[in-house]
Amino acid sequence: MADYLSVQALHKATPAFSPAVPVALLPYLAFVLLSATFALAFYFSTLPKEKIPAHELAVASAASLLGGFGVVALFCSVGVYV
């Protein structure tokens, strides 16, 4: 029982969680990231096909990363904390 009481006291003494990115910035961050994803996806569709697709891979990877973070920011901005 002493372990539980010590953990409970520690829990009450710790500060509340504060996110690294302010919640008020999440809609703007989502808009910027998803707009960049759309722009890169359009750019990807206009690239000429090459034998070694290094440039295509870089553009597609950047669009994928920005899209993933943009969707998470969008979900968090509407209250679905994932």
Task: Tell me which of 53 and 71 has the higher pLDDT.
Answer: 71
34 within some domain: yes
Residue 58: give the domain boundaries.
22-78
Domain count, the chain: 1
Residues present in the chain in total: 82
Tokens linked to 70: 């943009």
| Helix, strand, or coil (residue 80) | coil
**What pTM does this model have?**
0.79
* Across 12-34, average pLDDT: 93
Q: What is the mean pLDDT of the chain?
A: 92
- DSSP assignment letter at 82: -
In a domain, residue 12? The reply is no
Query: Residue 15: inside a domain, yes or no?
Result: no
The answer to the question of residue 7 being in a domain is: no
Where is 8: in which H helix or E strand? helix 2-13
The pLDDT-based confidence of 2 (bands split at 50, 70, 90) is confident
Split at pLDDT 50, 70, 90, the class of 75 is very high
Q: Tell me, what amino acid is at 64?
A: S
Residue 28 buriedness (CB in 10 A; 0-12 / 13-18 / 19+): exposed
